Structure 1
Amino acid sequence: MSYNNILVEETRPIGTITINRPDKLNALNRETIQELHKAFKALESQKEIKVIVLTGSGEKAFVAGADISEFADFSEEEGGKLAAKGQKLLFDFVENLSKPVIAAVNGFALGGGLELAMACHFRVASDNARMGLPEVSLGVIPGYGGTQRLPQLIGKGRAMELIMTAGMIDAASALDYGLVNHVVSPENLLSFCKDLANKISKNSPVAISHAIKAINAGFKNTDGYAEEIKAFGQCFGTADFKEGTTAFLNKRKADFPGK
């Protein structure tokens, strides 16, 4: 599949998606959102791909925001539809993907860029990264899940301050806040993320998929404990569970079939 704004690399068991609009600091436009949706969907369907890494081209920006020129003259109705469609196609889609997605945050992750990173299952930042939600400086609010995911990750007070000031924080602060899991040098960012991905890929993909669903349920208007119980029980009916327990009892490494 060919794309205009992204690059996709498959080095099994890892799929890497790179947003490739360096002249626009990798800003998200409608075409890029659509392409990202297709790429994530395609990688999710491939059994051999166990983990997906998402990054931006160059060292300046992961994603420096949305492409404002596309919606500067939108009406209220058009603005609402823009947010709803974007959340469905990309941000909620990534969050609920059955395969783990690691955001490799290189440089600026602002507005829609930070919202995209937060939709990933966790984040690793280069030490030159800068993150923020500057939307209120444009007379609008974050519309791709930022007002919901940021408080979940860093707490209500800090999220309120970051959104209301339209400010940026550096990588060290993001680590301290719990917004990112790790901070590494720019030259080590992708290799670090791929090392993490390889560790994840050795575990049961079926169990990981259930874990993602159960964890996400706790942040929604559902009973996360009930979802955990349901998913826990379902694991007992999988070939991965049989392989994992048999391997453990026989003191060997598991070779999960992924079903």
Structure 2
Amino acid sequence: MTTQHTEGSLYTNIVNRIATIEFGHPASNSFPSTLLDRLTKELQRVSTLDEVSVIILKSEGEKAFCAGASFEELVAIDNFEDGKKFFSGFANVINAMRTCSKLIIGSVQGKAVGGGVGLIAACDYVLATEAASIKLSEFTIGIGPFVIAPAVERKIGVAGLAELTLAATEWKNAYWAKEKGLFSKVLETKNELTKETEFLAEKLASYNPDAITEMKKALWKGTENWNSLLLERAEITGKLVLSEFTKKALSKFKK
């Protein structure tokens, strides 16, 4: 079941040193600003818990993993400050994932677009089903994946980021994502995905928590400037979203 709540849902379940954070939204698990803020704060909270070693990040339902940021909020932006704040949502989540002291396993059961791809890229290890195609479609509405680009580039390189960004109408399948390094494993079914994710999480949770914390720091070395970098990128997108090109493009989508 997928939540029908217009602001979306966010639940955390902690068992045997594993915190499973599950988000949902009726619009293909997209993120309104309030839900992004809740996820940011929840990641920060779980990061401080001694009883947790590993986080599983997943979404509700059988279909889309995440359709990115809320389209309704996007089309309503009419000034720079609101634009910057809106695009800072995923910046804050990615930085919370980056600085989290726990390893984060992404469990991706379906398609991901835009910010959803950024969310996947900010995980430390990702398992996905064959249905987990990805797309960065931002160019089609006159903006670009500037906020999430550092996280995506870190996983799949500049060439992969360029291919994904410039072919803005093209879905890349799960095996493309695995070959590029975004996914670590691709499973046939959601049932297999669940089993493999739980198996990996249990293994990691049995290891020395201090070693896990130190490994997390090592994996993200060189990203210390992201607090400012991603907010600068949010400003770029906040300006672009007010352009005549983007207004026209969004009006077509609204119709």
| 1:66 pairs with one of 64, 69, 77 | 69
Gaps of 5+ in 2: 1-6, 227-255
Partner of 1:127: 130
Answering whether residue 106 of structure 2 is matched by residue 106 of structure 1, we say: no
Q: CA deviation at 1:39?
A: 2.2
| 2:204 pairs with one of 200, 204, 209 | 200
| 1:155 pairs with one of 130, 154, 157 | 157
| 1:91 pairs with one of 94, 105, 118 | 94
Answering whether residue 121 of structure 2 is matched by residue 118 of structure 1, we say: yes
Q: Which amino acid aligns with 1:110?
A: V
Which one has the largest radius of gyration? Answer: 1
Q: Which amino acid aligns with 2:98?
A: E
Q: CA deviation at 1:149?
A: 2.0
Q: CA deviation at 1:214?
A: 2.2
What is the distance in 1 between the residues matched to 2:222 and 2:48? 26
Q: CA deviation at 1:128?
A: 1.0
- Aligned Cα root-mean-square deviation (Å): 2.0
| 2:217 pairs with one of 195, 206, 213 | 213
Segment of structure 1 superposing worse, 4-13 or 26-35:
4-13
Q: Evaluate the alpha carbon distance shift between residue 60 and residue 87 of structure 1 in structure 2; reply closer, same or farther with a 3 A threshold.
A: same
Contact map agreement 1:91 1:144 (CA 8 A) in 2: no
Scaled by the length of structure 1, the TM-score of the pair is: 0.77
Q: CA deviation at 1:159?
A: 1.3
Residues 195-249 of structure 1: per-residue CA shift (max 9 Å, x gap): 1111111222112212211221135569xxxxxxxxxxxxxxxxxxxxxxxxxxx
Q: CA deviation at 1:41?
A: 2.6
Contact map agreement 2:135 2:164 (CA 8 A) in 1: yes
Partner of 1:11: 15
Contact map agreement 1:127 1:171 (CA 8 A) in 2: yes
Partner of 1:45: 48
Q: Which amino acid aligns with 1:148?
A: P
Q: CA deviation at 1:194?
A: 1.4
Q: Which amino acid aligns with 1:33?
A: L
Q: Which amino acid aligns with 2:160?
A: R
What is the distance in 2 between the residues matched to 1:86 and 1:25? 17
What is the distance in 1 between the residues matched to 2:81 and 2:46? 33
What is the distance in 1 between the residues matched to 2:224 and 2:139? 25
Partner of 1:240: none
Q: Which amino acid aligns with 1:140?
A: I
Higher relative contact order (CA 8 A, sep 6+): 2
Q: Which amino acid aligns with 1:54?
A: L
| 2:182 pairs with one of 160, 179, 182 | 179
Q: Which amino acid aligns with 2:94?
A: F
Partner of 1:249: none
**How many residues were matched structurally?**
217
Q: CA deviation at 1:85?
A: 4.7
Partner of 1:191: 195
Q: CA deviation at 1:179?
A: 1.1
Identity of aligned residues (%): 28
